[in-house]
Amino acid sequence: EAGVAQSPRYKIIEKRQSVAFWCNPISGHATLYWYQQILGQGPKLLIQFQNNGVVDDSQLPKDRFSAERLKGVDSTLKIQPAKLEDSAVYLCASSFLSSPLHFGNGTRLTVT
Protein backbone atom coordinates (compact mmCIF):
# COMPACT_ATOMS: atom_id res chain seq x y z
CA GLU A 1 0.00 0.00 0.00
CA ALA A 2 1.13 3.55 -0.62
CA GLY A 3 2.34 5.35 2.49
CA VAL A 4 1.49 8.76 3.90
CA ALA A 5 2.58 11.43 1.44
CA GLN A 6 3.74 14.87 2.56
CA SER A 7 5.00 17.90 0.68
CA PRO A 8 7.17 19.84 0.55
CA ARG A 9 10.09 18.04 2.25
CA TYR A 10 11.84 21.27 3.14
CA LYS A 11 10.77 24.90 3.42
CA ILE A 12 12.67 28.00 4.43
CA ILE A 13 10.75 31.21 5.06
CA GLU A 14 11.26 34.49 6.86
CA LYS A 15 9.37 35.32 10.02
CA ARG A 16 5.94 36.83 9.46
CA GLN A 17 5.58 35.01 6.13
CA SER A 18 2.99 32.30 5.59
CA VAL A 19 3.50 28.65 4.68
CA ALA A 20 1.33 25.63 3.93
CA PHE A 21 1.98 21.92 4.19
CA TRP A 22 0.06 19.16 2.48
CA CYS A 23 -0.64 15.60 3.55
CA ASN A 24 -2.32 12.67 1.81
CA PRO A 25 -2.99 9.78 4.22
CA ILE A 26 -3.14 6.09 3.49
CA SER A 27 -6.29 5.21 1.59
CA GLY A 28 -9.11 4.25 3.93
CA HIS A 29 -7.56 5.79 7.04
CA ALA A 30 -10.26 7.92 8.60
CA THR A 31 -8.08 9.51 11.26
CA LEU A 32 -5.40 12.04 10.33
CA TYR A 33 -2.95 13.72 12.70
CA TRP A 34 -0.59 16.66 12.42
CA TYR A 35 2.37 16.66 14.80
CA GLN A 36 5.04 19.25 15.43
CA GLN A 37 8.48 17.92 16.29
CA ILE A 38 10.99 20.47 17.55
CA LEU A 39 14.63 19.40 17.37
CA GLY A 40 15.49 17.10 20.26
CA GLN A 41 11.90 16.58 21.35
CA GLY A 42 9.18 14.05 20.76
CA PRO A 43 6.28 14.78 18.42
CA LYS A 44 3.55 17.01 19.83
CA LEU A 45 0.00 16.65 18.54
CA LEU A 46 -1.31 19.81 16.89
CA ILE A 47 -4.60 18.59 15.50
CA GLN A 48 -6.50 15.35 14.95
CA PHE A 49 -9.20 14.80 12.34
CA GLN A 50 -11.77 12.03 12.18
CA ASN A 51 -12.89 12.03 8.55
CA ASN A 52 -13.39 15.75 7.89
CA GLY A 53 -14.19 16.74 11.48
CA VAL A 54 -11.78 18.01 14.13
CA VAL A 55 -11.68 15.83 17.25
CA ASP A 56 -8.75 17.48 19.04
CA ASP A 57 -7.09 20.83 18.37
CA SER A 58 -6.38 21.73 21.98
CA GLN A 59 -2.66 22.30 21.33
CA LEU A 60 -3.00 24.13 18.04
CA PRO A 61 -1.97 27.82 18.31
CA LYS A 62 -5.13 29.03 16.65
CA ASP A 63 -4.01 32.62 16.32
CA ARG A 64 -1.51 31.56 13.66
CA PHE A 65 -2.10 27.90 12.76
CA SER A 66 -5.02 26.51 10.80
CA ALA A 67 -5.76 23.14 9.27
CA GLU A 68 -8.45 21.65 7.13
CA ARG A 69 -9.49 18.31 5.73
CA LEU A 70 -12.41 19.32 3.57
CA LYS A 71 -13.24 16.03 1.83
CA GLY A 72 -12.06 13.72 4.59
CA VAL A 73 -9.00 12.66 2.61
CA ASP A 74 -6.01 14.97 2.21
CA SER A 75 -5.25 17.81 4.58
CA THR A 76 -3.48 21.16 4.64
CA LEU A 77 -1.77 22.79 7.62
CA LYS A 78 -1.08 26.52 7.39
CA ILE A 79 0.98 28.91 9.47
CA GLN A 80 0.34 32.64 9.13
CA PRO A 81 2.34 34.56 10.23
CA ALA A 82 5.30 32.34 11.07
CA LYS A 83 7.51 32.90 14.09
CA LEU A 84 11.07 31.77 14.72
CA GLU A 85 9.85 29.21 17.26
CA ASP A 86 7.78 27.49 14.56
CA SER A 87 11.00 26.01 13.13
CA ALA A 88 10.39 22.28 13.40
CA VAL A 89 9.51 19.16 11.48
CA TYR A 90 5.80 18.85 10.78
CA LEU A 91 4.72 15.25 10.66
CA CYS A 92 1.49 13.92 9.26
CA ALA A 93 0.19 10.53 10.36
CA SER A 94 -2.90 8.46 9.70
CA SER A 95 -4.55 5.47 11.29
CA PHE A 96 -7.52 3.15 10.92
CA LEU A 97 -9.47 2.64 14.15
CA SER A 98 -6.92 1.50 16.78
CA SER A 99 -4.18 0.55 14.35
CA PRO A 100 -0.70 2.00 14.83
CA LEU A 101 0.05 5.41 13.41
CA HIS A 102 1.60 5.52 9.95
CA PHE A 103 3.82 8.55 9.40
CA GLY A 104 4.94 10.50 6.39
CA ASN A 105 8.54 11.68 6.05
CA GLY A 106 7.65 15.13 7.36
CA THR A 107 8.26 18.70 6.28
CA ARG A 108 11.26 20.45 7.80
CA LEU A 109 10.42 24.13 8.28
CA THR A 110 13.10 26.72 8.97
CA VAL A 111 11.98 30.22 9.91
CA THR A 112 14.70 32.88 9.66
**Residue numbers at the binding site for other proteins (CB under 8 A):** 4, 31, 33, 40-45, 48, 50, 55-56, 91, 93, 95, 97-98, 100-106, 108
Query: Between residues 58 and 63, which has the closer beta carbon with respect to other proteins?
Result: 58
Contacts of 100 (CB under 8 A, 6+ apart): none
Minimum distance from CB of 93 to other proteins (Å)? 8
d(CA 76, CA 67): 6
Three-state DSSP class for residue 74:
coil
Minimum distance from CB of 69 to other proteins (Å)? 14
d(CA 24, CA 5): 5
Query: Between residues 33 and 65, which has the closer beta carbon with respect to other proteins?
Result: 33
Give the DSSP H or E segment for 110.
strand 107-111
Query: Between residues 79 and 107, which has the closer beta carbon with respect to other proteins?
Result: 107
* Residue type at 81 in one-letter notation: P
Query: Between residues 24 and 48, which has the closer beta carbon with respect to other proteins?
Result: 48
